[in-house]
Amino acid sequence: MENFIVSARKYRPATFDMVVGQDTITNTLKSAIKNGHLAQAYLFCGPRGVGKTTCARIFAKTINCINLKENGEACDKCESCLSFNTLRSFNIHELDAASNNKVEDIRSLNDQIRIPPQIGKYSIYIIDEVHMLSSSAFNAFLKTLEEPPSHAIFILATTEKHKIIPTILSRCQIFDFNRIRIEDIVGRLMYVARNESVTAEEDALHTIAQKADGALRDALSIFDQIVSLCGKNITYKDVINNLNVLDYEYYFTTVNAAIEGNVSLILTTFNEILEKGFDGHNFISGLNSHLRDLLVSKDESTLRLLEAAPSIKQRYLHQTRLCPVDFLYKALDLGSNCDISYKNNKNPRLHIELCLIKLCLIMAESRDTAEKKKSDEIELTKPEKEPLVPSKPEVIRQENEPVRKSPGRQEPSSGKHVPVFEKPAKSFSIRDIISEAGEPEVNRTSNSKEPVPGSVTTPVQGSRENLATGNFTPAWQEFINGLKGDGTRIISMFKSITPDLEDEHTLTIHLSNAAQKDLFLQNYKQRLINFLENKFIESDLDIIIAVDQSETNDIIYSDEQKYNYLQAKYPVLKDFKKTFNLDIN
């Protein structure tokens, strides 16, 4: 019986061109060999099964090749290449640092380095899993790695770059190997299947590649395992049954049930998955991956992120048309939260079932929101009923009372009498109308309280005077007295204000600083105008604010300004603050 050789060894790349998924690194190494730019130390790092040790061996073989090809590959005909292929080369030395990690092993290596090569120019030392060396071994290796003999080249390989001390990293050229793409792994599996006369479905090879998680060696090992079970014909069903992988059909069914809001279907589907022996955590994790694939299928620019067989891609494109983007966002959020809290839940099945029920409610909530929005839009487009507007009361004036005009306003020239309102934007009250109609004062004020000074109330018409000729000072004091509810600081501010009456329509207020100006404009300007317009017969009153700039910089506002002022006046305050470690505020 012929000895069986696993595919990972049988189809191990022998040249740079056969290396899968690491084109950038292989091209760089070939260029370095052709140009003679060889460093004394290289570090190959990356995940398992991506070709680190394989590239190190090909690199070591190609360096000593006597007759290089034009493309930078080894000739496989010279004595150096033949000795390497038959595993009898004395120029290439491999050391497993996982089992030779002591200081004595590195000292032995240092003594061996002194021996020049028998064939070729270089002695190459490949140290695999170099991160397993002890700290003492690393320190013993530093000097040799930095200044080796001219014929020595070191190639270090590791899966855990972060465990290597920085002094080693600084002495090496570092090459980071990437995970191999699913498409590249599928292509390599097809190549192996053809050479082994194995018929394999493309979906089955994609499932193997996804299970390998970017490691070609793992994919070849899984391939050998499936061939041992199924023989020369590999189907998708055989792969998912052998690898304990959940069929993607369950994920499509789950999402369709969530879109339709079919709670019964989604719960029975999950129950069927559990009856087949699958773990609920694996199901929710796979569902999240499925939702992610649906999301990236939404846009052509992200479609390249979907790693699936062509037939499966068409199903993703079909289902993603049925899923709104908002549904996918909310479903991913629910699935992610369920995945995070799964292990801490005492009833994991119920936990996932609640998540699935919430998935079914997403579309129902979206439909309710859309219908409500549509009904609101219909209500807005309906013609509004005309409100019942009461007719404007006719303003009855006294015979001898003149009509007050705004400055610059013209009387209408039409023959009909059109009432001219002094301030159309200002509201009017029934009291004004009754007062102008001449109702007796007793009837109007019999049940009313005394007006509060400073409030907008309409005084008796007969007591109103002209602002220019009337007594303004008592009115100003009356306004200040009406501010008692605003605090002593406001009253003090108004008592310090000096108002000047420019004319019958203009009043100038002198303020001390910009802060008083802002406070007056925001809270008290309109209040003062209303008070004066109701106290006197003038209207369209304008208040001009004048700020004394000479006093602005002398006013102390903040705690820091107060402290600086007191410190300038009492220097001992600085020592007092420092001694007791006091803060300004």
SS (H, E, C) 394-405: CCCCCCCCCCCC
What pLDDT sits at residue 146? 87
H helix intervals, 261-347: 263-275, 280-296, 310-322, 325-340
pLDDT for the residue 45: 93
> Can you give the residue ranges of every domain in the chain?
7-178, 183-366, 442-554
pLDDT higher than 70, residue 523? yes
User: Which H/E stretch holds residue 442?
Assistant: helix 441-445
Asked if the domains 7-178 and 183-366 are classified in one and the same CATH topology, the answer is no
Higher pLDDT, 9 or 438: 9
Q: What is the pLDDT of residues 45-88, one digit of tens each?
A: 999 989 999 999 999 999 988 888 888 888 888 888 888 888 88
Residue (of 472, 471, 483, 579) closest to 527 by Cα position:
483
- Specify the pLDDT at position 158: 93
pLDDT of residue 565: 79
Helix (H, G, I), strand (E, B) or coil at 447: coil
Rounded to an integer, the average pLDDT of 122-144 is 90
With tokens 């032995």, the residue in question is: 108
pLDDT at 190: 92
Question: What's the pLDDT at 504?
Answer: 67
Q: Which one-letter amino acid corresponds to residue 117?
A: P
On whether the CB atoms of residues 285 and 353 are closer than 8 A, the answer is no
Q: What's the pTM?
A: 0.58
CATH for the stretch 442-554 = 3.30.300.180
Q: What is the C-alpha to C-alpha distance for residues 381 and 383, in angstroms, rounded to an integer?
A: 6
pLDDT, tens digit (0-9, with 9 covering 90-100), for 317-368:
999 988 889 999 999 999 999 999 998 888 999 999 999 999 999 888 877 6
Classify residue 40 by its DSSP letter: S
Task: Say yes or no to pLDDT of 550 above 90.
Answer: no
CB 30 within 8 A of CB 17: no
Class of domain 183-366: mainly alpha
Distances in Å between the Cα of 257 and the Cα atoms of 1, 106, 293, 433 are 54, 63, 17, 71
What percentage of residues in the chain have a pLDDT greater than 70?
79
Residue 464, pLDDT score: 58
d(CA 252, CA 312): 11
Comparing 125-134, 317-326, 357-366, 432-441, the range with the smallest average pLDDT is: 432-441
For 13-37, the pLDDT digits (tens) are 888 988 998 889 999 999 999 888 8
Residue 524 — very low, low, confident or very high, per pLDDT cuts 50/70/90? confident
**What pLDDT is stored for residue 383 in this prediction?**
56
**What pLDDT is stored for residue 585 in this prediction?**
64
Q: Which of the residue ranges 173-182, 240-249, 573-582 has the most confident prediction, judged by mean pLDDT?
A: 173-182
41-45 and 152-158 beta bridge pairing: parallel
CA distance 296 to 335: 17
**Per-residue pLDDT tens over the stretch 197-237:** 899 988 889 989 988 888 999 999 999 999 988 888 888 88
Q: Tell me, rounded to whole angstroms, the distance of Cα 408 from its chain centroid.
A: 60
Q: What is the architecture of the domain spanning 7-178?
A: 3-Layer(aba) Sandwich (3.40)
Under the banding of pLDDT at 50, 70 and 90, the label for residue 258 is: very high
Read off the pLDDT of each residue in 251-259 and give the average, rounded to a whole number: 92
Closest Cα to residue 495, out of 517, 510, 514? 510
List strands edge to edge, sheet with 173-176: 92-96, 123-128, 152-158, 41-45, 173-176
For residue 355, give the amino acid letter: C
Joined together, the tokens standing for residue 31 give 């260029």
CA 558 – CA 549 distance, rounded (Å) = 19
pLDDT reported for residue 392? 45
- In the three-class reduction of DSSP (H, G, I as helix; E, B as strand; rest coil), residue 430 is classed as helix
Average pLDDT, the chain: 79
Q: How many CA atoms lie within 13 A of 561 on its CB side?
A: 6
